[in-house]
Amino acid sequence: MIYLFFISFDNYPEKSFCLVLREIVPILEVFAYFCRNILKRQVNLLKKVLVIDDEPIVRQGIKTLLENVITGYQVPWEASNGVRALDIIHIEIPDIIITDIRMPEMDGIEFLSSLKQIYPALPVIVISGHDDYIYVREALKLGVKDYLLKPVSRHELANILSSIKESGDNGFINPNDSTTIRHIKKLIENHLSEELSLHSISLALHLHPNYISQLFKQKTNINLSDYIIQRRIIKSKELLYHSNLKIYDIAHLVGYSNSKHFSSIFKKIVGKTPLEYRRDQ
């Protein structure tokens, strides 16, 4: 027997879900499962923010505002200068960046210039002192969303974040991304017989690997590496059906130098070896 529990929320009907149980379990176990699901969903909905400032007390203050006062945001990363911030961004891409202008090693302007080259549409909020007008003007030229004067006001920060949310700005994805996706797909299609990787594609398109990887996944719902394999299998099917080429020749034409490796991947995806597939057509 299967027991169904439908969990609903009056204010958030879209977050309702169904709990399926194959046996009756203690109510506390059901409640614990329910709480874990809610917590997981809430964490996934939080916008991730990178805070950059050379003063730890300022970073902590902004973190507290975002996580405990404004809510809806989490601050998993902090950096004391632009160099450290870029190191973080090369590994994880935040939804929003809040950065000071004046910092040691690499100041806010240098950081923004570097950031613009890899993630041109990533939302950035600048914080500055009253005498930083020239710096703020330069930052605005580099495309920052807005700026705040120190000390940071809860209401002003909340208003700017709300404005970013209402504008539909979801991070590094921008209106030209559909064109970028077309370029990526065309590049893959034209070079199926060659070695294709995230690194080689990023070099060819002069874009950061992380940007390409996350953009492609977000826009197509498939990993770039899986898409490349998918296109290679489709092409190999066409060659198996329309030509008398040997398997190792087809393997080379779709980018596999080892025909055994090609046959293994083909069977894993298609359910048949290349020879079996050709025979059954």
Concatenating the DSSP letter of every residue in 209-272 gives: HHHHHHHHHHHHSS-HHHHHHHHHHHHHHHHHHH----HHHHHHHTT-S-HHHHHHHHHHHHSS
Q: Domain residue spans in the chain? A: 3-43, 46-166, 177-280
**pLDDT-derived band of residue 168, with 50, 70 and 90 as boundaries?**
low
CATH class of the domain defined by 177-280: mainly alpha
What pLDDT does residue 33 have?
54
Structure token pair of residue 240? 């198996």
How many Cβ atoms sit within 10 Å of the Cβ of residue 257? 10
Give the pLDDT confidence of 5-43 residue by residue, as tens digits: 555 554 444 455 555 555 554 555 555 555 555 545 444
Give the pLDDT confidence of 95-154 residue by residue, as tens digits: 899 998 888 888 888 888 888 877 777 888 988 876 666 777 777 777 787 888 888 888
58-62, 89-93, 109-113, 130-134 — which one is most confidently predicted on average? 58-62
Give the CATH superfamily of 46-166.
Answer: Response regulator (3.40.50.2300)
Closest CA to 98 of 58, 71, 125: 125
Closest CA to 233 of 204, 255, 258, 205: 255
Pairing of strands 17-21, 3-7: antiparallel
Mean pLDDT calculated for residue range 213-235:
91
